[in-house]
Amino acid sequence: MNDDSFEARSRHYPRLRIAVAGDFFLDRYLHIDPARAETSIETGLPVHNVVAVRAQPGAAGTIVSNLVALGVGTIHIVGFRGDDGEGFELERSLRSMPGVDLTDMLTAPDRRTPVYCKPLVIEPGRPPRELSRLDAKNWTPTPERLQLDLAARIETLVGRVDALILMDQVDLPETGVVTQLIRESAHAAMTARRGGLVVADSRRGLHDFPPLAFKMNATELGRMTRANGPLDLDAVMSQASALSQRNNQPVFVTLAENGIVGAFPGHTPEHVGSFPVRGPIDIVGAGDAVTANLTAALAAGCDLRQAMAVAMAAASIVIHQLGTTGTAMVPGILDLLGGLPAEG
């Protein structure tokens, strides 16, 4: 392999410093054994007996888990948790990960730790089956003093890291970490330093974000560009290229089973297909794996097409991990890159 191969680029990962600013959820999995089902004497309702509980960082924490799996040297966490048991569990999980720096993870007594509680029916010889999820979130605006503290920390970090990821996970605007103040602070810090990679991802879409590197799906791109109906591949490539030129920043658009499109200012947009499905899949966490792997690959010096191929390989690995929010490691990615997806 030559020095431009992903194998060579990935050797830079232990020297990378990447910051992740966003909404850190606790993913709590409840393992239910249907063989131990009961009926409540008091209510007559079914009783689901939980035989195991496991917790791991979710949302922005999933991106961190993917960066850790890749062997990124230092990962700065920027966010808040509540002064509650869930926050203790979340911080304990993050603290156990190699390379994770929690200096900028704040404890906010007036906020709660967001939780995705996922009951899973576990039966021998069958994939885990998820029941209705139980969520706990903040429903009031993030206090301004907390926003200002986080913004100052982001402004300091932008000059010290190879890349910053902004992960906006909340459904109600201004109730999480990536508020308008935080978005504008990240952009101002990037501009003041005349560059730097800042990758933005939001479950609500990126229409109200300043010009940063955008990662989105085709539906979000269609809403942003006010397209009439679904976009085909040619339209996605054209719209992504135009948006990249306008923002003077990279744009990445995921297309589910049809792969990913990427555009750099001044370059022809490219398409990389997805890898074939190899059995049962669980798509939870695939988008976060794409975000983490695109960022790490670009920070390590990969070109556009190479970074997208790496991200597609990682997503393929993650969707085949059932009953959990999975991650991908460099050896597994290298194995899949032996047969690159076909160009669209």
Q: What is the pLDDT of residues 80-93, one digit of tens each?
A: 999 999 999 999 99
pLDDT of residue 108 exceeding 50: yes
Q: What is the pLDDT of residue 326?
A: 82
Scan for tokens 């509980």, then name that residue. 53
How far apart are the C-alpha atoms of 258 and 216, rounded to whole Å? 14
User: Looking at the predicted structure, is the pLDDT value of residue 323 above 80?
Assistant: no
Residue 175 amino acid letter: T
CATH superfamily to which 6-339 belongs: Ribokinase (3.40.1190.20)
The answer to whether the CB of 74 falls within 8 A of the CB of 43 is no
pLDDT range class, residue 289, cuts 50, 70, 90: very high
Quick one: pLDDT at residue 227? 82
Question: What is the pLDDT confidence band of residue 343, given thresholds at 50, 70 and 90?
Answer: very low
In this prediction, residues 173-199 reach a mean pLDDT of: 94
CA distances in angstroms from 175 to 137, 170, 180, 215, 303, listed in the order given: 9, 7, 11, 21, 36
Contact at 8 Å (CB) between 211 and 248? yes
Catalogue the E-assigned strands of the chain. Answer: 17-22, 24-32, 38-39, 46-47, 50-59, 74-82, 100-108, 115-121, 129-130, 134-136, 163-168, 197-202, 213-217, 251-254, 260-263, 270-272
pLDDT of residue 339: 55
pTM of the shown model: 0.92
Residues 232, 253: Cα–Cα separation, whole Å: 12
CA angle 26, 27, 28 (to 5 degrees): 105
pLDDT in tens, 258-283: 999 999 999 999 999 999 888 787 67
Express each pLDDT in 53-90 by its tens digit.
999 999 999 999 999 999 999 999 999 999 999 999 99
Residues 275/313, Cβ–Cβ less than 8 Å: yes
For the chain, the residue count is 344
Q: In the chain, pLDDT over 90 holds for what percent of residues? A: 85
Given a cut of 90, whether residue 319 has pLDDT beyond it is no
Collect all residues with Cβ–Cβ distance below 8 Å to 232 and sequence separation of at least 6: none
Instruction: Write the burial class of residue 311 (CB in 10 Å: 0-12 exposed, 13-18 middle, 19+ buried).
Output: buried
Q: How far is residue 32's CA from residue 47's CA, in Å, rounded to a whole number? A: 10
pLDDT of residue 281: 74
Query: Could you read off the pLDDT of 202-259 as tens digits, one per residue?
Result: 999 999 999 999 999 999 999 998 887 788 999 999 999 999 999 999 999 999 999 9
pLDDT digits (tens, 9 = 90+) for 137-163: 999 999 999 999 999 999 999 989 999
| Mean pLDDT taken over the chain | 93
pLDDT-derived band at 344, boundaries 50, 70, 90: very low
User: What three-state secondary structure class fits 333?
Assistant: helix
Domain borders along the chain are: 6-339
Region 12-32: mean pLDDT is 97
Per the rule left: phi > 0, alpha: psi between -120 and 50, beta: everything else, 88 is: alpha
H-state helical runs in 175-303: 180-192, 218-224, 233-247, 286-299
Which pLDDT belongs to residue 215? Answer: 97
- Tell whether the torsion through CA atoms of 197, 198, 204 and 207 is positive or negative: negative
Tell me the residue type at 340.
L
